[in-house]
Amino acid sequence: MFEQLELHADLCNALGDMGFTAPTSIQSSVIPKAMEGRDILASAPTGTGKTAAFLLPAAQFLLDFPREYHGATRILILSPTRELAIQTYEHALEITQHTNIVCGVITGGINYGTDRDTLAKNLDILVATPGRLFEHIEKESFDCRDIEVMILDEADRMLDMGFRSIVNQIASEARWRKQSMLFSATLEGPGIAQFSKDLLVNPESITVDPSRKEKAKIHQWYHLADDASHKYQLLKHILSEQAESAIVFVKTRERLQQLKDRLASDDIDVCWLQGEMPQDKRNQAMSRFKNGEVKILLATDVAARGIDVDDISHVINFDMPRTSDVYLHRIGRTGRAGAKGTAISIVEAHDFAMLGRIARYIKEVIKPRVIDELRPKHKAPTIKKPKKSTLKKNAKKGGKKSSGPKKKGRGKNITSRKQDNG
């Protein structure tokens, strides 16, 4: 229960109104450490409740130490995309609905007059995209001196989008802060390690895999396709006969355009998100999808970052992702808010190597299914099942010490050098 985390009654009541009764794994791990004032370096898959994992301790801090005078923003949350920023802001409004905490959001694609109105408020929590916020810092229309907690959401995506320098500059402007938190889909790789050294002081490193109960919310399987034509027929059947609402993932904008046109020719109504899409068009597409006007959303991985819709019944991998962690990001779009979801991959023979890597990464076997009238003519290539030793080895990645013999060169314990924060 959330009460056991020593959260304020107003926050617990808001969570009850939202239909949440018990914390997820990432929330149980992060919230107590964050409420101690520790810097946090955390990793958890999409859909495991990480937004509340940083919003709740931030809100608790504001309630424990109320503002004594009018001033600028106290909690700064940086999000890589406009959609994610807006969704985080909306989540913050829900969590703080029974309090006097004032929240705001500024992103690109919104006129500066609206931003000025937002920043003129006595803000407690500001959610912002890095580029737009830095523009206001340069224009001296935003003051970082009152920031006490800085939170970076989807830090891996920020690195991918080239925001490292801007984020570091924002952090420098907010050098009097008391706490920083960094959340990422993965903590692996030199990029995140350096990012954490730049921004965090002796952080608590937390890596959480979804619990068995959380994993069970998403059913996963694949369909074997003989060729491109067969692949499309499988997709059309799933969309027409199985899916109530679905996100269909493709690799590129070109693939999205081809698929969109083909579905349109079969009178299947879709909306879509792709990179470098005007903000008004993106908002229009998301609005049509969220309100149920259109049941199918086509998206590339870049464009889909930050999508948070509770009632998506299916995620369909029409094209397999390039990496296993992207697969987790994709399927995390379904099975939200306590609902069950389904993740289906439509694979050709050349996709089986990736399917095997994903199975080893998620420590599960993805099983095949067949649609009777669309049975494949060819046999599937053999996928080696993850060995038990591999499963055990992978299960220990997250900081748990092995009881067996130690192996050199595998474990990475990311800690941060202490920095002078002024």
User: Average pLDDT of 360-374?
Assistant: 88
Q: What interhelical angle do 50-64 and 25-35 show, nearest 10? A: 30
- Confidence band, pLDDT 50/70/90 cuts, at residue 253: confident
Contacts of residue 97, defined as CB under 8 A and 6 or more positions apart, other chains included, come to: 14, 17
Q: Is the pLDDT of residue 99 over 90?
A: yes
Q: Is the pLDDT of residue 396 over 60?
A: no
pLDDT for residue 232 = 95
Residue 201 phi/psi, 5-degree rounding, is: -120, 115
Tell me the HSE value of 65 on the side-chain side, using a 13 A CA sphere: 11
User: Average pLDDT of 55-71?
Assistant: 92
* Exposure letters 291-327 (e unless 16+ CB within 10 A, then b): eeebbbbbbbbbbbbbbbbeebbbbbbbbbbeebbbb
Quote the pTM value. 0.68
- Confidence band, pLDDT 50/70/90 cuts, at residue 320: very high
Q: Is the pLDDT of residue 245 over 70?
A: yes
Report angle CA 174, 178, 180 to the nearest 5 degrees.
75
Q: Is the pLDDT of residue 124 over 80?
A: yes
Q: How far is CA 358 from the centre of its chain?
A: 18
Do the beta carbons of residue 153 and residue 84 sit within 8 Å? yes
The CA dihedral of 280, 281, 285, 286, to the nearest 10 degrees, is -40
Beta strands in 17-81, from DSSP E residues, in sequence order: 40-43, 75-78
Within 10 Å of residue 107's Cβ, how many Cβ atoms?
22
CA distance 53 to 392: 27
Which of 8-17, 272-281, 312-321, 390-399 has the weakest average pLDDT? Answer: 390-399
Single-letter code of the amino acid located at 198: D
Q: For the segment 137-151, what is each residue's pLDDT rounded down to a tens digit?
A: 999 999 899 999 999
More confident residue, 323 or 231: 231
Q: Is the pLDDT of residue 397 over 70?
A: no
Average pLDDT, the chain: 84
Q: Is the pLDDT of residue 87 over 90?
A: no
Q: For the segment 183-220, what is each residue's pLDDT rounded down to a tens digit?
A: 987 777 678 888 899 999 999 999 886 555 555 578 89
Give yes or no on whether 2-207 and 217-374 have one common fold: yes
Which of 66-70, 317-321, 347-351 has the weakest average pLDDT? Answer: 66-70
pLDDT for residue 70 = 81
pLDDT for residue 213 = 54
pLDDT for residue 146 = 92
pLDDT for residue 400 = 44
55 to 78, 92, 339, 384: CA distances (angstroms):
12, 7, 22, 41
Where do the structural domains in the chain lie, given as residue ranges? Answer: 2-207, 217-374
Q: Is the pLDDT of residue 156 over 90?
A: no
Beta strands in 56-136, from DSSP E residues, in sequence order: 75-78, 103-106, 125-128
More confident residue, 406 or 263: 263
CA distance 223 to 234: 8
- Percent of the chain at pLDDT > 70 equals 85
The CA dihedral of 401, 404, 405, 406, to the nearest 10 degrees, is -20
Question: Looking at the domain covering 2-207, what would its CATH class be?
Answer: alpha beta
pLDDT for residue 389 = 52
In this structure, CATH architecture of domain 217-374: 3-Layer(aba) Sandwich (3.40)
- Residues linked to residue 179 through DSSP beta bridges, in sequence order: 149
CA distance 94 to 240: 35
Which of 62-76, 105-119, 228-242, 389-403 has the weakest average pLDDT? Answer: 389-403
